[in-house]
Amino acid sequence: MTLSPEEMKKVYDIQRSMHQKFRHVNSIYGEPLPYLGRLFIVHEGVFWPSKDSEALVKNYAINPGEEVCDVCTGSGVIAVHSAWKGAKKVVALDINPNAIKSTLENSKYHNLGDIIEARQSDVFSALKSEERFEVVTMNPPFTDHKKEVGDYAELTVWDPALHVQKSFFDGLDRVLKHIPTARAYVTQASFGAIDEMVERADKTGFSVQEIGKNVVDDLRTFYAFELRRKK
């Protein structure tokens, strides 16, 4: 699933224009955005909820009362959907402090402040050692690309040296409860590190099953996967 160098150049240009958009948001109020018919606020440097997460949001399942950890939460859009699907508690994690601010505002706006907790975190680093979840969700930065400006806007779509992907698979078995229904839902893209994800899942004891996809154009297809411990 590899794009040619010319195609990847087009992807990087699209991503650079996304970074510019994410940087230029009202510094006090943020930007209200529609996503699947609901409103979400994003602050400066935060990823705008978009087509990349739709295959996941439309196809993943949460059983009533489950506890969920949403890594790379951004505006908190997946955390909010997990609460709407019935989660009892959602811990939302992101490296960007403005993502935490956006997630807290969106949780409050949608009356989910008592269900969603948000913490600044490098992948799972802010979880307490004893915290375990039935479900982990993640819509990560897809592309292994080195920093150019070096701000949080770039880390929305670029994952230098696949740090996020590596840390996710290093921590997943510890963070997921050891029960048969435990699972993770993860997105990836036609231009991203899918093969690396499948390899890391396999090496850390997880099977990968596609649960949905969203074809945007010739360059960009977004996928949603369910990961479970191999039997």
For ligand SAM, the closer CB: 52 or 66: 52
CA–CA gap between residue 97 and residue 115 (Å, rounded): 20
Using CB under 6 A, pick the residue from 69, 78, 83, 227 that binds ligand SAM: 78
192 near ligand SAM, rule: CB under 6 A: no
Q: What whole-number distance in Å separates Cα of residue 15 and Cα of residue 37?
A: 24
CB 85 within 8 A of CB 67: no
- Taking the C-alpha atoms of residue 22 and residue 44, their distance in angstroms, rounded to an integer, is 6
Per the document, the length of the chain is 231
* Contacting residue, 55, 69, 72, 172, with ligand SAM by CB under 6 A: 72
Task: Closer to ligand SAM by CB, 11 or 77: give it.
Answer: 77
Question: How many other C-beta atoms can be found within 10 angstroms of the C-beta atom of residue 230?
Answer: 10
Using N-to-C axis directions, what is the helix angle for 163-175 and 194-203, rounded to 10°?
Answer: 30
Tokens in use for 150?
A: 């070096």
Can residue 164 be called a binding residue for ligand SAM (CB under 6 A)? yes
Q: Does 74 bind ligand SAM (CB under 6 A)?
A: yes
Nearer to ligand SAM, 61 or 179 (CB): 61
User: Minimum Å distance from CB 4 to ligand SAM?
Assistant: 23
- Tokens coding 29: 């109020």
Does 80 participate in binding ligand SAM (rule CB under 6 A)? no
Please work out the total of residues on this chain that contact ligand SAM, with binding judged by CB under 6 A.
Answer: 26
Using rule CB under 6 A, residue 69 touches ligand SAM: no
For the segment 97-136, give every residue that binds ligand SAM (CB under 6 A).
99, 121-123
Placement of tokens 């078995």 in the chain: 173
* Contacting residues for 32 by C-beta, under 8 A, at least 6 apart: 39, 40, 41
Measuring CA to CA, which residue among 190, 174, 172 is closest to residue 227?
172
* Coil/strand/helix, residue 30: coil
Residue of 19, 30, 118, 141 that binds ligand SAM (CB under 6 A): 141
94 is a site residue for ligand SAM (CB under 6 A): yes
* Residue 193 interacts with ligand SAM (CB under 6 A): yes or no: no
Selected binder of ligand SAM within 15, 53, 103, 165 (CB under 6 A): 53
Residues lying near ligand SAM in the complex (CB under 6 A) are found at 47, 49, 53, 72-75, 77-78, 93-96, 99, 121-123, 139-141, 152, 155-157, 163-164
